[in-house]
Each structure stands twice: as structure tokens, then as C-alpha cells.
Homo-oligomer: A and B are copies of this chain.
Amino acid sequence: MSLLVVGSIAIDSVETPSGKADEALGGSAAYFSYAASYFCPVRLVGVIGEDFPDDYLSVLKNRENIDVSGVQVQPGKTFRWRGKYEGDMNVAETLEVQLNVFGSFDPDIPETFRDSPYVFLANGSPEVQRKVLHQVRKPKLVFADTMNLWIEIKRPELLELLKQVDGLILNDQEALMLTEADTLVKAGRAILGLGPKYVVVKKGEHGAMFFSNEGIYALPAFPTAHLVDPTGAGDSFAGGVMGYLTHANTIDSETIKRAMAYGSVIASINVEGFSLGRFRETTRQDIEQRFALYRDMLRLG
């Protein structure tokens, strides 16, 4: 089974209490693809500028399970984000955003990708996400991500999109903002009423919650002692979740829970380095090892 992801590929400059990374490989679809590629073939669609370093494209292109034939090169510069973490490591302070070629991104899904059974609409405007949806044929499972910006400025379009996806993954602040609820439990349930059958609320260092009509559950983050850079944690988590689901090719509460556990484990590895640094030295076996620790941590006899 293959997993299609459409989203941003970026050049990030990040400062954290542990150090900094200048002009590093980033973007929601980059983190997502790498994380998912531990489990299944990933079809990546995104846009980069002419300035995008060959080395960065190679990181994705040379990865066995990632097909970059959907990455367009456009005249101009690549999407850039510059941010900083201090104090609360769950929230990045955005210092600068240059949308560049991502600002006019009009995803054209390659013909060979249009039969993808699993689809992830990474962060992007709801209109762009909907355009992707119209190009894929009868996918088995579609999850979307969103962010505060779209909740604020594209709420009607987002609500329309929510009627067309199976699942929504978003962070805690976004869930509260979207629903105007005062607790995450209320927020998650309210989102179920907006269309999606599955809602995953990411809580950064506090883990994640899952909502469906069958019930609610919460999983903690894997407590790593080596937090270096939280950038991409949420996208890595989503990549782990969707990658595992695609691999399992089964969609039920138990499988989604295991998928979320893999997502948590992968996110905890990702934050131990800048950019995709830790991923590049991590094998599937390393992930299984940490998964076993995580499973044991949660075993109550």
C-alpha cells in the first residue's frame, strides 16, 4: 500500500536552547515523508524553488521508500521559515516566514500517484487541500492537518473540507480555536460533529488524544531526556501514524492506537536533533526498540 502526502518542503532556520540550525531541510511534508517511510512507500508532492540544495533533495530522493517524482521545481525561492524556541518548548516563536514558491503552490498529482489508497493533506490552505482531494481516485483513508492561520482566515473552506476527509490531525490550541470549546475532550468530540470520523489532537510533550464514535483515548509522549529541537515533531508524529496505518492496511481503533504509539515514538526521536538529523541515523530496528520501551512504560500488569 502507498501513502500520498502533499505539503510544504522548506528551508528552516531554528534557534533552541540547545543550539541552532541555519537553512536546514524542513517542511511538513519532508518530516512527514521521512517518518512514514519507515513503514510504507511514500509518494511525496510538494514544491521547491531553484535555490533548493541538491543535498536536501537527495536526503528524500535517496531514501528507499520515498518517491519524489511529485516534487515540482518552480522559478523563485523555496519556502523559508525562521523560528525560535525558549521557555515553553511546545510553542515556536515564528520570527520570519517567506512563502516564496509555496505561496502559489498548485499541486498537480502525478497520474501514477492518483490511485494512492492512503492520503495525507499536510498543512496547506483548505482550498489547496481540496484540490488534491479532487485529483485522487477513491482513496481508502484521507487525513488532513490544519493550522491556526486557516482556522482564522479560511474557516468556511476548512469546514467544507472537513466534510470530505475521514480524519483530522491538529494540535491542542488549534482544536480549541476551531471549536471554541474549553476542554480538549469537548473540542475533540465537537470536531467529530463537523465531519471527520477520526480526530487526533496533538499535545506536544503531553502526547496525543484520539476521538471516534467508539470512544476517546489518550497516550503520553515518550519522555526523551534529549530534547534538542521540537520543529517537525507534529509532522513526524503524523507521518508515523499514517505510515503505520498504511502498512497495517486496517482501520480500527486498536490499529489507530498502535499507529499513534509509533507516531509518538518517532516524534520523540525526531526532537533529539535539528532538522531530519536524528532520522538519518535511525533504523526501523531502533524504532522497534523504543516502541518496546514505550509499550512497557504503559503496561499496567
Contact = CB atoms under 8 A, between A and B. Distances in A.
B301 A298 contact: no
Contact of A185 (B223, B258, B294, B300): B223
A166 interface: no
Interface stretch (A117-125, A214-222, A273-281): A214-222
A218 B207 contact: yes
A205 interface: yes
Interface residues of A, number: 37
Interface string A243-268: 00000000000100110010000000
A127 interface: no
A223 B219 contact: no
Interface of A: 17, 86-87, 89, 182-186, 189, 203, 205-207, 209, 216-225, 227, 254, 257-258, 261, 294-295, 297-301
Nearest to A292: B300
B17 A182 contact: yes
Contacts of A301: 254, 258, 295
14 contacts: A17-B182, A87-B182, A89-B182, A184-B223, A185-B223, A185-B227, A189-B225, A203-B206, A206-B207, A209-B223, A219-B220, A295-B300, A298-B298, A298-B300
Given A184-B223, A206-B207, 15 more contacts: A183-B205, A185-B227, A206-B220, A216-B223, A217-B223, A218-B221, A219-B220, A219-B298, A220-B220, A258-B300, A258-B301, A294-B300, A298-B299, A298-B300, A299-B299
Contact of A297 (B17, B89, B217): B217
A185 B90 CA distance: 13
Nearest to A262: B300
Nearest to A219: B220
Nearest to A257: B300
A146 B300 CA distance: 28
B221 A86 contact: no
A43 B60 CA distance: 63
